[in-house]
């Protein structure tokens, strides 16, 4: 079992508020806190080697036994059982853990020693250091603008579809009650209905494509700044008079 990230935070509180006997200047404590905070951030990201370096620097500056626990955790995550055992032994001896902490950590120390012996005897393979995850790609300013524009186009197209669709239904009803009753509607009489149907279809296709483009843009916003991405929305009209839009992109 591991105390995990919460224990790191607890140790940070100890570092921040506990007095250090024999401290000669506050600058050393400030620098130690800076190194500790950097180590905590590296630990949270899984960058355990970097976290170990920062915790070691904080310990050298402050000499606080509480940091031995952080050093134990990072060494354990890196699979360095010799170092982890040494730091945990020193923390139990010098860190003044509570009875509850000691009851949890002493069995963990014995488990580490057992695992180390199993590795030395070949009964257990050498643990691989936990991989360091890549840093999250930085977002660029204005990244949300293309997606918002696409969603805005989708919204406007839906409004247009509702209006033209409603007019098309009304026109169809009027024709049904007029020339449609005798099946003698001329081309001029149905031209308005045809135009409204085409407009409604184009509006619906535009809304669907623009909404899809907005989703794609939102998904691809996390690309690193050295990557290029372009996207364009272009209308098209077919020879029979129908139309729509096409989304073109390059990443």
70 with 91: CB under 8 angstroms? no
Do residue 148 and residue 92 come from a single domain? no
Do residue 154 and residue 116 come from a single domain? no
- Per the structure, the count of domains in the chain is 2
Do residue 115 and residue 150 come from a single domain? no
The answer to whether residue 109 sits within a structural domain is yes
Residues 116-173: tens digit of each pLDDT: 998 888 876 766 665 555 554 455 545 667 777 878 888 888 898 889 888 878 877 7
Do residue 156 and residue 89 come from a single domain? no
pLDDT of residue 132: 53
The residue assigned the tokens 């669709």 is 165
- Residue 146 neighbours by CB under 8 Å, 6+ apart: 217, 231
Domain with 41 in it: 5-120
pLDDT of residue 240: 44
Q: Where is the domain boundary, 56, 86, 120? A: 120
**pTM for the full model?**
0.44
């Amino acid at each position: 079992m591991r105390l995990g990230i919460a224990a790191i935070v607890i140790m940070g509180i100890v570092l921040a508020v506990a007095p250090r006997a024999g401290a000669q200047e506050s600058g050393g404590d400030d620098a130690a806190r800076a190194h500790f905070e950097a180590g905590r951030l590296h630990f949270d990201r899984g960058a355990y080697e970097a976290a170990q370096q920062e915790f070691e620097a904080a310990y050298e500056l402050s000499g606080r036994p509480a940091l031995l626990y952080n050093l134990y955790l990072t060494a354990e995550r890196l699979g360095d059982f010799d170092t982890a055992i040494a730091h945990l032994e020193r923390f139990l001896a010098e860190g003044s853990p509570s009875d509850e902490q000691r009851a949890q950590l002493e069995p963990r120390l014995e488990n580490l020693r057992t695992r180390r012996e199993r590795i030395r005897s070949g009964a257990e393979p050498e643990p691989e250091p936990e991989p360091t995850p890549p840093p999250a790609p930085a977002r660029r300013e204005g990244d949300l603008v293309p997606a918002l524009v696409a969603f805005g186009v989708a919204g406007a197209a839906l409004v247009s579809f509702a209006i033209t669709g409603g007019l098309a239904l009304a026109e169809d009803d009027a024709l049904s009650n007029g020339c449609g009753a005798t099946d003698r509607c001329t081309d001029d009489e149905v031209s308005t209905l045809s135009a409204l149907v085409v407009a409604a279809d184009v509006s619906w296709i535009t809304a669907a494509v623009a909404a899809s483009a907005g989703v794609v843009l939102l998904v691809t916003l996390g690309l690193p700044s050295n990557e290029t991405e372009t996207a364009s929305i272009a209308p098209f009209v077919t020879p029979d008079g129908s139309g729509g839009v096409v989304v073109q992109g390059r990443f």
